[in-house]
A and B are shown apart, each in its own frame.
Chain A
Amino acid sequence: MRPVFRIVRESLILGFAEMSAVYTWRTWTFGWLVRLLCQAAFYALLGRYVGDETTMRYVLVGNIVVLACLESTIVVISLAGERAMGTLPLLAITPSGHLPVYLGRGLQWTVTGLASSLTAWLVLPPLLGVPLPWPRAAYAIPVIVLILASSYGYGCALAGVALRLRGVEWLVLNFAYGVVMTFGGVNVPVDTWPGPLRVAVEVLPVVHGLQAIRGVLDGASTGHVMGLICAEALVGAGWYAVAALSTERLVSVGRRDGGLDHA
């Protein structure tokens, strides 16, 4: 396990060094974080405009939790950036194997994602006049961490597309996140959608975890909540498996045809 921890540590150092080229802690807080808070508030205000405070709280909770997914999936951009810089082959020949190194390239986004969603969780509900039921709301925090993890796997899997097709990373990122935001039960319940779509969204991250969080807030039974948490973990594991297979294939084909540096 020690090499894995070292890779995680080095990935985080590299990731934050990269971030510091764009953000200082001030510009991150008053620029990026405020933007994320405004995003959640934007949809929450729509919730109150079309419905009542219950609708607003439903929409706000969904939009706060989905921030974790938004930031985690930015790994798509980090991995595509390695290809653009020509450093993908260098990562592939690391002694520890390419898989943990590749999958660690966007870990900093999980840390910032946790910071953003937790800040929003604490600040926005009282600010918008729909406070959460504390201390029950605290039990949702480990579930947000799980959602971060499953969304990160989802992002890593979809990064496989961005690594194979040039110049599509922003499209992939926005599509990945947009599908979750639109159909994942963030603003309206999943059963709003027609049957086939309802089945399809079962494999998206956030969907089950968010239902678990809503269950926690509404005082649902522990068994019901645990079932949803297990489903979220299973979905996340599935996406990590897809990411591992996709990366493995990318590297093996790249080694064979020498096309990894311009894959």
Chain B
Amino acid sequence: MSGPHAALRVVWRAVLLQIALSRRRPEHALILLIAPMQTTTMLALALTEDREDVVANAVLAPGLIGLWVAALDYAGRVVTEDRWAGRFSPMIATPVPLGLVVAGRVATVVLVGAAAFAESWLAAALAFGRVLTVADPVPFALAITATCLATVGTATLISAVFVMSRAHEVLQNSLGYPFYILGGILVPVAALPGWLHPFSRVVFLSWSAELLRDTVRGDASDWPRSVAAVLGLGAAAMAAGLWLTRRYVDRARREGTVGHA
């Protein structure tokens, strides 16, 4: 296989495979069940305290949580589930890099997670009469796109780490809320203790959350820098994920452990 066209074909086939698999797994739509409840919780708390200025935080946060849940809970398990379901051996016997297949499948799941943004917006409008408008639509659209791409990159890395780790269930269960705090998805990083700030800056969610809130309020003068940071962190995660996946596949082939990998 060579050339970008062939690579895109592989990714597209991977997308179709994931759609076929997810249709039989209702839990892949879990985030769509959770998002309206999270919006309700966060918005009720903000409005009870008469904080109209926090409405944007409360509407955007469930969308970001949706992306992270998609990356962590479903996309991250792609290869692990293939191993259990016996799809792993035929998949790596095909003459295409497994990393591309994983990336395509991860992208499908992440798109479902991104629907949480729309759901959250709808929940705020219908249940609380708060219609969130976007002051800077173009930077906002770019921010959402960059965030989705960074999520795909991060999920590819998570998938590779899970497949190589013996404690992937522990990691999967543990990496949600610590990252919601670090990512400043609801409470801005500036309001967190100072010693957490350096850690927050290497989590793409922190740049995304700030950027999305700023574009909604029309206060995103420095948006190219933030978009670049989100894309840079996502690309680094994707590169690491693809490298780890290739390394894992090579090792499994070399040691003859593909069948019981």
Known: A45-B191, A55-B49. A38 touches B37 (CB 8 A): no
The reply to whether B187 and A32 contact each other, CB–CB distance below 8 Å, is: no
Known: A171-B30, A187-B41. A46 touches B186 (CB 8 A): yes
Would you give the shortest CB distance from B52 to chain A, in whole angstroms? 10
Is the C-beta of A175 less than 8 angstroms from some C-beta in chain B? Answer: yes
Is the C-beta of A20 less than 8 angstroms from some C-beta in chain B? Answer: no
- Count of A residues near B, CB < 8 Å? 38
Known: A35-B176, A174-B33. A188 touches B44 (CB 8 A): yes
Q: Is the interface of B mostly helix, strand, loop or mixed?
A: helix
- Count of B residues near A, CB < 8 Å? 37
What is the CA–CA distance of A45 and B33 in the complex, to the nearest angstrom? 24
What is the CA–CA distance of A41 and B187 in the complex, to the nearest angstrom? 11
What is the CA–CA distance of A181 and B187 in the complex, to the nearest angstrom? 19
Would you give the shortest CB distance from A224 to chain B, in whole angstroms? 23
The reply to whether A50 and B45 contact each other, CB–CB distance below 8 Å, is: yes
Would you give the shortest CB distance from B54 to chain A, in whole angstroms? 5
Closest residue to B61 on the A side, CB-wise? A46
Within 8 A of A (CB), among B168-218: 169-171, 173-178, 180-181, 186-188, 191-192
The interface residues of chain B lying within 8 Å CB-to-CB of A39 are 176-177
Is the C-beta of B24 less than 8 angstroms from some C-beta in chain A? Answer: yes
Is the C-beta of A139 less than 8 angstroms from some C-beta in chain B? Answer: no
Cβ-defined partner of B30 (8 Å) among A43, A170, A187, A192:
A170
The reply to whether A34 and B181 contact each other, CB–CB distance below 8 Å, is: no
Within 8 A of B (CB), among A180-197: 181-183, 186-188, 192
What is the CA–CA distance of A47 and B24 in the complex, to the nearest angstrom? 39
1/0 per residue A36-52: CB within 8 Å of B?
10110111011101110
Cβ-defined partner of B171 (8 Å) among A31, A42, A168:
A31
The reply to whether B181 and A41 contact each other, CB–CB distance below 8 Å, is: yes
Q: List 5 A-B contacts (CB under 8 A).
A: A45-B181, A45-B187, A168-B26, A182-B37, A188-B44
